Amino acid sequence: MVDAQGIEQVIPHRGAMRLIDEIREFNETSGVGIHYVRDDEFWCAGHFPGKPIMPGVLQIEALAQTACFIALTNLGLTDGSTLGYFTTMEKIKFSHMVTPGDVLELHVELVMSKMSLYKFHGIAMVGGKKVAEATFTAIMGPRDK
Residues annotated as part of the active site: 47
DSSP 5-18: HHHHHHS---GGG-
3-state secondary structure of 139: strand
What Cα–Cα distance (Å) separates residue 3 from each residue in 10, 28, 118? 11, 19, 24
> Burial code of 80-94, b = ≥16 C-beta within 10 A, e = fewer?
eebbbeeeeeeeeeb
Q: Which of 89, 92, 22, 32 is nearest to 56 (CA)?
A: 92
